[in-house]
Structure 1
Amino acid sequence: MAIYTRGGDHGKTSLFDGARVDKYSLRVSTYGTFDELNANISVAEKLCHKVDNQKLLQRIEYRMFFLQGEIATENSQLFQQKSQIITNEDVDFLEKIIDQYLFELPPVNSFILPGSSLAGAQLHVCRTVCRRAERLFTQLSQKISFRPELEKYINRLSDFLYIIARSEDQEALIDQVTDRVYQKYLNKGMP
């Protein structure tokens, strides 16, 4: 079976509910940017050293499908009948993780460089793409009404990505210090 349909050969694409729109429409740009974010989250998840962070990001990857699907649907009732949706429980979950990690990580009192580890750097890429997607979503929300849970989730998501980046950077720092101490220990024991 071919992956091409030829349906978009004239600059139009189909939304989830079958409506045809211009490929350059704000709606398509918005859910397309969230698709870009999800691909970047997938890369970050593969780079993470902490298994817990990998699992958290995998959960987010699946939620992104629900988010994109709802944005890509003119008839939101139809989407809600056929798919899972982002809920307040999803927002609460992000807040719980953010609060937990803020408690566990050392405080930050200034701007930080975007990632001192490869995973942290990729997660900061995710954070910035998320912010861009949020700006597009906010612009689209001026014309189209969305459920408030989507706006809350999107806003918390960039904070979540920031805190997971800090977690990965902290893990890398601990590994680096441990390696240095171990190397010094080995070198002292040698004649």
Structure 2
Amino acid sequence: MVVLNKIYTRTGDGGDTALGNGDRIAKNALRVSAYGTSDELNSFVGVARLHAEGETDTALSRIQNDLFDLGADLCRPDMDKDASAEYPPLRMIDAQVDRLEAEIDAMNAHLSPLRSFILPGGSALAAQLHVCRTVSRRAERLAVELAASEPVNTSAVKYLNRLSDWFFVAARMANDNGKADVLWVPGANR
């Protein structure tokens, strides 16, 4: 359980921060950038929800919760710690990735195949989902970079990869099932 009685602690005034296991590292460390970007993404998802309703809003709510799980996973570098510890690490699992894939398949069934690349835009929700897609890709790149030098849960990386795809397909859905997608016209302004 989380209890926050005081929001500021002054412990990070020197440029370091605590990880989920209590270790302190620099605030500009790659691990902090990776989970910080997932937190940034969560904020953008919150903005997207201002334009969403029904099943899309429900799915975005699930994704926001997943992103907190992802941040908790990424802030715990101790991949080999015993799960029976007092506070076992919360890890992303493949079932979360599988759920995204099932949702992508269900949404994609309503869409016509693409004949061009899509420019971010269209409806307000679609435009915001495209922002989420690009921030998700950045979070994925950071997690992949981190995984090249430190242990990272492979399900966390897979989740970010699938999540950006989810945002892309959801943006198409938000553009009248793809009918209002803004298509790229190569060389249009030459």
TM-score norm. by structure 2 comes to 0.84
Is it true that 1:154 corresponds to 2:154 in the alignment? no
**Which of 8, 12, 20 is 2:16 aligned to?**
12
- For the aligned residue pairs, the C-alpha RMSD in angstroms reads 2.0
Residue pairs, 1:42-121, within 5 angstroms: 42-48=46-52, 50-76=53-79, 82=88, 84-121=90-127
**Which of 2, 7, 13 is 2:6 aligned to?**
2
| Greater displacement, 72-81 / 87-96 | 72-81
Cα distance in 1 for residues equivalent to 2:89 and 2:16: 24
Counterpart of 1:163? 169
Q: Which amino acid aligns with 1:117?
A: S
- Deviation (angstroms), 1:5: 0.2
- Higher Rg: 1
- Deviation (angstroms), 1:153: 1.0
Residue 70 of structure 2 contacts residue 156 of structure 2 at CA under 8 Å; is this kept in 1?
yes
Return closer, same or farther for 1:79/1:107 CA change in 2, 3 Å cut-off.
farther
1:17-66 deviation digits (Å, cap 9, x = unpaired):
11100001011111111110010011111211x41000000000001111
Residue 73 of structure 1 contacts residue 79 of structure 1 at CA under 8 Å; is this kept in 2?
no
**Which of 118, 128, 137 is 1:122 aligned to?**
128
Counterpart of 2:25? 21
Counterpart of 1:181? none
Cα distance in 2 for residues equivalent to 1:145 and 1:101: 34
Cα distance in 2 for residues equivalent to 1:42 and 1:23: 24
Structure 1, unpaired ranges of 5+: 175-191
Is it true that 1:36 corresponds to 2:40 in the alignment? yes
- Deviation (angstroms), 1:115: 2.1
Structure 2, unpaired ranges of 5+: 181-190
1:77-123 deviation digits (Å, cap 9, x = unpaired):
55955354321111111111111111112222111121200010000
Residue identity (%) = 40
TM-score norm. by structure 1 comes to 0.84
2:119 partner SS: coil
